[in-house]
Structure 1
């Protein structure tokens, strides 16, 4: 392993000097893993994620990870990192679109086993005819797996959120997986200035002794996780065990809020919160919405923006407070179902929420499209 200095997480995330690099999102992923002190990375290629895990393999060869291999398929990769995490290792993997679906069984298993796995999701379309293009519909499916879900707008946030994810996931009172999502191609293959921390500094190693569940390794006498498998029982105790554990996983997500506030900052970013027309967006939709809001303000329209960075746990209190005063709420999204609009509608007066504009299947969302919707709303409110 390469010799490096272990530093305090708060120092690394907030105080360490930063060097500017011109990176695409997939390169930013590898740079984050390099500094995350990861024990093992398990990969399986799928566009637009493939390059990121290829680069993780490169840094493994340079001595930045203890182990790395390519699994036989996406489900195998996600099962492998689960086994490694159960053995007390800090793990990393990544996938996209159809790969997310092929591996989906493992995500609630990770959460139920209280495994602090960090997975990058480079979101892409999932449909027929086949597309590899940007579409973040998979975030809507991931939201109820029990994982924490972060949504990065650009390569800089992708780098930062991956490091923050390890620190938050491994808190003893949290200890559940984190999915760090980014819109495929728009982030993964877009080159921007990314400020990275020093290569010779890394997070402290994962301490499995602080896990709320026993770690299984060769240094610990073998144990059974469950004496009598609940799946073999049909009685009140079995039902109650399952029900209470699902509640505990979600309680862990709620307990993560204070750690998110400490290491990631607010779950949202707000511009002009008292506006008559308030846009709510996440990921790259927030970037286009920001430009549309600036143009609307120049045209004399009172518009504002709420960028949602943390999808799970959803910022309920903040959204409720911010949606009290605006006359209309616009939710632009890169998916057909409008999962963010649904989240907002369920926490406010849904009659004020205008879902859209939405683009999907690889379509882009020029700011002009959003601006047109803002102007339409301005005429009727």
Structure 2
């Protein structure tokens, strides 16, 4: 039995197109391909009858492709919107949580896809400072020693301004002038404690808050926290200590060390403390770390009332200042901490001793931890 020929769709299409071109008759085309003219005519009829389906299919495919494109476009728009929100959130939290120097260090100068300009925007740092990093001039060894002396004198006489400080150091044999001592005291974050004309009131009015503790009876833990920053000497340098004190029990709630006075380390410490507990009122001075939008927004978000000392009034934050005095006389001045690691360990050990073992005369010779925990036990019962 003779085997039937099987023609591919491509071949059939080719033959029919030749017929439609009408350059040859059907018989001529059939003879060329050794086929029956009837078969070719049948292919032609079938081709023409189904030609509209080709366009219908094309329209359907086009619609399908259009829908797929629109769906992808919508998905990409949602993704871009979500990424925009996430980047804004990341920038805001990174800027408030990480110190400026840490964010600058994150810049990758040779990143293949993100240029320095874009990295600066994402990290919330000034682009100029990234392109031309300014190397901070470290105080000389002589100035560091002077700063240590200034710190000791200031602890005894917090009402000394740079003029009195200059005279005192000159009387001790140090050839210093007012400008130098004023600059060093500014670097240390120190200023004389006494009421002064509020020359910057208009500039800081929107960030300042009233003092809420006058006449207030403090009778429970976490009713009032006091916060402040102090200069901490080291063997060959210095750091800054931010501290949180519970005013009722005198307990050190948390602390943070920093090599600079960037605002980030204050917010980092506060957020860490808030994860454990929160005060009803937070009291601070009117320093720049506490009269700025980031600090106020954090406390308002946590529903913490904000209290600020009167300008230059030492007594308004006396309990926090008293702790700093104890820390320095009982720990810092008795040791020469050479590295930040040593200093951190020294302060950690002192805080454990201060909170858990050191008796307080104002607490009837009981430790802060005991008063803090016993008060909660009494409240619970």
TM-score (normalizing by structure 2): 0.23
Larger Rg: 2
Higher helix share: 2
Higher strand share: 1
